[in-house]
């Protein structure tokens, strides 16, 4: 019999708010993507351990100044949150709310791996939604924070059902709670309705924990039980927010996540047993670091990749996401063969508000991103380079002053210290037309700090540190783990461009 050893945390990168289903022998997952485009990444797995990116639900989902990063604010910390993935009678469904739009989105497809998704929009927020297809053909969404509501959809799950159920379902605990119940995952199993939530007490262990409410009746009353209150020995960060998954053999698991500092929120898989029709998570009340599952061993697929930018058409590998909506007229991987060309099309006062910043996740325990770019066609006022992107970001790159002279510089987010735009920490004259840039990130596992280091080179062999180490911080202003980003923006005039020859990535042990 095939067996796989699950080692938590299963992905040492930012894959927050996982929603997992099984179709046949294949597991599929969607996760939060907020301001990254394309968004709502779809991953698949045969064993719950090794996950591969196979699709996105949308390339972009709105076209306005905020989503296009033209309003000076963007949709950082907003966009697509806590999507719910479901499958029913040959159709896949993904639903989520967007705080900046005050809207609820439902996407459908018949081909989750290669297909296009049809978009449906409902006005109003449905916070942290979970869709449930009941046995009688009715469809419901459970949603809310503390005050949990149930809303009925049409049979095709694309609109509100006229005269359908739309009411307060239950009120969760208030006393001693900092964050009331949210992050719903709803199921109907053996006649019971199960609603999984997280909450965050300000008393006791004072960490995020997993709850379950159940009832034999859709509208209650619901019983409540604490499912898990554990931190797997990492900084009292509770492991919670997720749902149930079964296998073809009838075994049960749950996929939850844990806040893990600057790298982001990392998914974990736990075994589930059943006692008196209650799911029992983990082993002896704890989240195990390793355990075996009766699922096939597979070869892991990389979540973050190196890229030589050798494409036949203007379509990037799935591992790349843009920071906000891209400007399609000002990027190309075909205009110069084997290169990513970024052309300035809008003015910005820092990389945080630069269009067409191309990103990938960082991974723990440590990783290095290296790139080389042709800077001969930059104009006065242009800025281009490599960034470790979060609210407290750090970048290394080229600055062209008003006289056309080039400087290599390490910069940080001035907004984080109360000023505007970027703050240059160190810079030096640079004479060449080609520059190599590198950022090394190390991430905390309970024994060190989250740190990034910045380097440059004229030949790719002799490296020079610049700017000093940057303390990395996971900030709710962006609500996302650090990402490597390739950027080019103008502060004076548009039209300049840079050509990235490659991005090379190394995950360190």
Q: Final residue of a domain: which of 277, 293, 309?
A: 293
Residue 53's pLDDT is: 98
Q: Kindly state whether residues 218 and 281 are assigned to the same domain.
A: yes
Kindly state the tokens that stand for 422. Answer: 């970027």
pLDDT at 467 over 70: yes
Average pLDDT rounded to a whole number, residues 487-497? 98
Q: Kindly state whether residues 283 and 343 are assigned to the same domain.
A: no
Q: Which of 45, 44, 48, 43 has its CA nearest to residue 5?
A: 48
| Chain mean pLDDT for the chain | 97
SS3 content of the chain, % helix, strand, coil (to 5): 5, 50, 50
For tokens 């640079």, name the residue: 430
Q: Kindly state whether residues 239 and 362 are assigned to the same domain.
A: no
Q: 296-326 in b/e burial notation, b at 16+ Cβ within 10 A?
A: eeeeeeebbeebebebeeeebebbbbbbbbb
pLDDT at 471 over 90: yes
468, part of any domain: yes
| Residue 27: band (very low, low, confident or very high) from pLDDT cuts 50, 70, 90 | very high
| Residue 474: band (very low, low, confident or very high) from pLDDT cuts 50, 70, 90 | very high
pLDDT tens sequence across 304-352: 999 999 999 999 999 999 999 999 999 999 999 999 999 999 999 999 9
pLDDT tens sequence across 386-397: 999 999 999 999
pLDDT tens sequence across 188-229: 999 999 999 999 999 999 999 999 999 999 999 999 999 999
Q: Kindly state whether residues 375 and 478 are assigned to the same domain.
A: yes
**What is the domain range of residue 493?**
321-508
| Residue 415: band (very low, low, confident or very high) from pLDDT cuts 50, 70, 90 | confident
Residue 1's pLDDT is: 61
pLDDT at 418 over 80: no
Q: Kindly state whether residues 387 and 242 are assigned to the same domain.
A: no
The CATH number given to whatever domain includes residue 464 is 2.60.120.200
pLDDT tens sequence across 142-152: 999 999 999 99
447 C-beta neighbours (distance < 10 Å), count: 6
Residue 302's pLDDT is: 97
433, part of any domain: yes
The SS3 call for residue 164 is coil
pLDDT at 437 over 90: yes
CA–CA dist 498, 496 (Å, integer) = 7
153, part of any domain: yes
Q: What are phi and psi of 396, to 5 degrees?
A: -130, 130
pLDDT tens sequence across 113-141: 999 999 999 999 999 999 999 999 999 99
End-to-end Cα spacing for the chain:
31
Q: pTM of the prediction? A: 0.97
């Amino acid at each position: 019999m095939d067996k796989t050893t699950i080692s938590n945390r299963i992905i040492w990168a930012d894959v927050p708010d996982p929603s997992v289903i099984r179709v046949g022998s294949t597991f599929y997952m969607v996760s939060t993507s907020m301001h990254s485009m394309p968004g709502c990444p779809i991953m698949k797995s045969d064993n719950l351990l090794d996950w591969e990116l196979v699709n996105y639900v949308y390339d972009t989902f709105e076209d306005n100044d905020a989503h296009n990063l033209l309003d000076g604010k963007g949709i950082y910390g907003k966009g697509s949150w806590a999507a719910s993935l479901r499958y029913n009678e040959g159709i896949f469904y993904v639903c989520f709310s967007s705080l900046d739009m005050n809207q609820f989105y439902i996407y459908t497809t018949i081909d989750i791996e290669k297909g296009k998704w049809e978009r449906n929009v409902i006005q109003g927020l449905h916070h942290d939604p979970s869709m449930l297809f009941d046995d009688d053909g009715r469809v419901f969404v459970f949603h809310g924070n503390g005050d949990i509501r149930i809303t009925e959809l049409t049979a095709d799950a694309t609109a509100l059902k006229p005269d359908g159920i739309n009411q307060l379902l239950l009120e969760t605990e208030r006393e001693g709670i900092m964050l009331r119940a949210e992050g719903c995952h709803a199921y109907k199993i053996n006649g019971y309705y199960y609603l999984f939530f997280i909450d965050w007490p300000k008393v006791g262990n004072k960490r995020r924990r997993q709850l379950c409410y159940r009832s034999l009746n859709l509208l209650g009353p619901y019983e409540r039980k604490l499912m898990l209150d554990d931190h797997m020995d990492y900084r009292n960060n509770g492991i919670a927010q997720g749902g149930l998954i079964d296998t073809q053999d009838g075994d049960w698991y749950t996929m939850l996540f844990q806040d893990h500092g600057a790298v982001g929120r990392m998914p974990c898989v736990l075994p589930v047993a059943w006692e008196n029709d209650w799911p029992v998570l983990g082993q002896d009340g704890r989240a195990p670091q390793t355990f075996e599952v009766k699922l096939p061993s597979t070869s892991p697929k990389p979540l973050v990749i190196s890229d030589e930018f050798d494409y036949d058409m203007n379509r990037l590998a799935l591992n790349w996401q843009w920071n906000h909506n891209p400007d399609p007229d000002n990027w190309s991987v075909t205009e110069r063969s084997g290169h990513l060309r970024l052309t300035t099309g809008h003015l910005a006062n820092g990389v945080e508000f630069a269009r067409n910043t191309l990103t990938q996740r960082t991974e723990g325990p440590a990783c290095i991103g290296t790139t080389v770019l042709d800077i001969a066609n930059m104009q006065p006022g242009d800025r281009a380079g490599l960034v470790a992107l979060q609210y407290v970001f750090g970048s290394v790159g080229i600055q062209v002053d008003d006289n056309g002279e080039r400087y290599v510089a390490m910069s940080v987010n001035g907004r984080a210290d109360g000023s505007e735009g970027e703050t240059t920490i160190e810079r030096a004259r640079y004479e060449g037309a080609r520059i190599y840039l590198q950022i090394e990130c190390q991430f905390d596992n309970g024994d060190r700090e989250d740190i990034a280091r910045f380097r440059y080179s004229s030949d790719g062999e002799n490296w020079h540190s610049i700017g000093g180490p940057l303390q990395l911080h996971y900030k709710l202003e962006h609500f996302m783990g650090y990402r490597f980003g390739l950027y080019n923006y103008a502060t004076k005039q548009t039209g300049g461009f840079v050509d990235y020859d490659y991005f090379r990535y190394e995950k360190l042990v």
